[in-house]
Each structure stands twice: as C-alpha cells, then as structure tokens.
Amino acid sequence: MKTLVNANIWRLVKAEIFYNLFVHALLFLTLTFMFYLFGGLVRDGIYQDPSLPHLLAVAIMYLLFTTRFLEKRTRYIQTLPVTQRELGLARIYAQGFYCVGALLIYGISLMASFPADLLTEGLWRFLALAALLLLGNAAFCLSFDMWAASSLPTFIKALLLALIWILILRLGTLYLEIPFAEGMSRGDVTTAIFIYKTPWGVMLQYLFAIVLSVMSYKLYIHRQSFLT
C-alpha cells in the first residue's frame, strides 16, 4: 500500500529539520524580539506598517529553502535504499516544515500586533499568510524540478515559471498593500479582499499550493538525473 508517511520518510524529514534546527532557533529568537518590538511600536501608533518584519521572515525562510538545493543533498540521499516515492514525499514535507517555522514566527508577531483581535483579525492574517507561504514554497520546489526536467524545452520551462512567479509575486504585493487600501485601484482591492479576506480566496490559494506541490513531486520522481 502506498502510504504518505512511513519510517524512511520520517527519518529523512527529521534529518532535514534537525539539520537546520540551530539556524531556525536563532531566527526564531531574533525575529520574535523584532516582532514584539514592532508590535509595540504599532500599538503605540509610532509605526503603522507591521508588514516589514513579516516580509523579512519570509525572505529568510526562502534563503533557507535554497540551502537544501545548493548543498546537493538530493544527490546524497538518492543513493540510500529508499524508494523514489519516499524521497519525493520527504522532500516536499521537509520544505513544508520551513513554512511551519515561518508561520510560528508570524503567529508570535500577530500576538504582539493584535492582542485584542487575535481570534478574528489575527487568525485571518495567519491563514492568509500561511496560504501565501505554502504557495511560494510549492512554486519554489516546482521551479527547481521543472528546470531539471529534460523532457520540456527550455523556452517552455522559462515561460511557465515566469507566469507562475509573476502571479505569486503579484499575490505577495497585494498582501503587503492591504494596509494601504486607500492607495490601491478598485480591481486590486477587490482581488486582495477576495484572496486574503474570504474563505474561498484563502482556500483557492491552498488548492493552488497543493496543485503546484503535486506537479513538483511528479516532476521529481520522473527526473532523468538526480545530480543536482
């Protein structure tokens, strides 16, 4: 039976988590301090936009994603006696854990920024950013796997990836522009509200993240070369 979790997958994911545990812990402490600081400044009306440290958290998390690929660990684990399917799933899960780290930090930020509205405004913001992060993560994995796919012409790969990233970056900028709604066009405000303030919009992002993750997984297990 094809399981989604087994001992081998857990061993691989665990290694990935613990490998970056120190960096995560350091990041966690630093950003928590920063978010409390910014949260306090926002509450006191000294600083209006709490999104800057959030953006920083996301940027650092993405830098962490890249280390996995740059360190050629794909090649390292490829020779282990585990199935291609287990390797593919472990890879997706391990990258998902980076998002969990980012969300943990963001959750603390929300506690600091919206202590009174944590279960309303705070929860919505949390779910919205989680969707955006998972989407970005899935797009990141897909970018590597699509680029490594030898069956697609380079032009097609470049075009598809450009389209995906334009869409995701636009979603990201909309998220950041929400606090400044008065300066946005009517169309952008409608889209931003749908994507980040309605259950269907948030669900749509999660669905899109899952589709991209599945595509990434499929491309990975059908790769012709694992030398990266």
Distance CA 76, CA 35 (A): 37
Quote the distance between the C-alpha of residue 127 and its chain's center: 12
| 141 to 19, 56, 73, 79, 86: CA distances (angstroms) | 19, 20, 14, 21, 16
Site residue total, another protein (CB under 8 A): 24
Instruction: Select from 111-119, 187-195, 198-206, 217-225 the region that touches another protein (CB under 8 A).
Output: 217-225
Min dist CB 80 to another protein, Å, is 5
**Binding of residue 176 to another protein (CB under 8 A):** no
Min dist CB 222 to another protein, Å, is 9
**Binding of residue 81 to another protein (CB under 8 A):** yes
Distance CA 150, CA 90 (A): 23
Distance CA 162, CA 48 (A): 33
| Amino acid present at 85 | R
Min dist CB 65 to another protein, Å, is 16
Min dist CB 19 to another protein, Å, is 5
Distance CA 111, CA 174 (A): 22
| 117 to 98, 147, 160: CA distances (angstroms) | 26, 43, 40
**Binding of residue 75 to another protein (CB under 8 A):** yes
Binding mask 1-30 for another protein (x = CB under 8 A): -------x--x---x---x--x--------
Among 71, 167, 169, 210, binds another protein (CB under 8 A): 71
**Binding of residue 72 to another protein (CB under 8 A):** yes
- Tell me which residues touch another protein (CB under 8 A): 8, 11, 15, 19, 22, 71-73, 75-76, 78-85, 221, 223-227
